[in-house]
Amino acid sequence: MTDIENHCKQNMESPSEEPPLIGIVGPTAVGKTAVAISLAHRLNGEIISADAVAVYRGLNIGSAKPDATERAEIAFYLVDVCHPDEDFTLADFQRLAEEAISDIRRRGKTPILVGGTGLYVRSVTATLNMPTVPPHPEIRRRLEDDAENFGLETLYARLKEVDSLSAAKVQSGDARRIIRALEVWEVTGIPLSDFHTPEGVQGIPRPNVYLFGLAMNREALYQRIETRVDAMMAAGLEVEVRGLLAAGYDPSLKSLQSLGYRHMISVINGELSREQAVTELKRDTRRYAKRQLSWFNADARVRWLNAEKIETEGLVKGTTAIAEQVIEALQQIKQENPPDEGNT
């Protein structure tokens, strides 16, 4: 057992210093959750999910949530926290995640943040100057009425005037994002793009945070994506989506426009065959993985680890080996940065 492991075990019995926040990040399907679970066992940890779809109840298969067995092994936070038709913002995630991290640390355990939603990760690992604007139903209704009465192009033109950078990033037919950007502007007087600039999104790194990225060669990652999508279909993704629609959830909801769910809605509506939907889902997931890699590659704090061990050595041996690499890196960091010197 390493010094880090001993320290984490002893800290639960008699907390002496604040445990670090460890982040396991990277593209979808690379094996982040399995590595985080292995690490949690070794470091007396509990896991905070940083996944923008896993927060919704009932969206289980398409979000690849930890299953009942995994959640019985290790405590997970920020999973199943709201209904599919509830507004859940970045500020909501930040607040709940920080509460979970504080609670985990207070009990002498190690918080482990795992996920691929870049802004969720950044919101609790750096200090962001972001507009924390909760939904304003009255403003949204008025903007929706304006879109219906005068056309969405009128709102889009308005957005170009007050926030040209945000307008350039959204499609002219994306009502939800256009209305949200205008809502933020009306409430705060701050363009949403002021937050979504590289400088604003980077934020100021918080101390005692260590991020580890999992990566593998493109061919291996893409094969894992293909395998995951096939497994989701076999597990009943389409049935899950049909159940959500039968429960009365509107297919245009943000939650149901996420990967997998919108593809199955297209099948249910007769817009795509099942085979076409699966092909598009695999393609869109590959594109999403590329965007995730670009996001985390831009964060200089991320220490990258080769996750191909999961493929070559099997799930259990591979994730254990990667967890050991994380622990070794933490041990080295601790030696290079004694507590009295601080760390970032």
In tens, the pLDDT along 44-102 reads 999 999 999 999 999 999 999 999 999 999 999 999 999 999 988 888 999 999 999 99
The residue with tokens 């085979």 is: 275
Question: Who has greater pLDDT, 254 or 341?
Answer: 254
Specify the CATH number of the domain 3-130+200-341.
3.40.50.300
Dihedral of alpha carbons 256, 258, 259, 262, sign: positive
What number is the average pLDDT over the span 10-21? 72
Q: Which amino acid is at 136?
A: H
CB 265 within 8 A of CB 244: no
Topology agreement, domain 3-130+200-341 and domain 137-194:
no
Q: What is the pTM of this model?
A: 0.82
pLDDT at position 84: 98
The full set of domain ranges for the chain reads 3-130+200-341, 137-194
Name the fold adopted by 137-194: Histone, subunit A (1.10.20)
Q: How confident is the model at residue 107 (pLDDT cuts 50, 70, 90)?
A: very high
Q: What is the mean pLDDT of the chain?
A: 91
In tens, the pLDDT along 17-43 reads 899 999 999 999 999 999 999 999 999
Distance CA 209, CA 124 (A): 9
In tens, the pLDDT along 124-148 reads 999 876 666 777 888 999 999 999 9
Determine the length of the chain: 344
- Please determine, for residue 10, whether its predicted confidence score (pLDDT) is greater than 90: no
Distance CA 153, CA 119 (A): 28
In tens, the pLDDT along 180-219 reads 999 988 888 888 877 665 555 677 889 999 999 999 999 9
What number is the average pLDDT over the span 270-299? 97
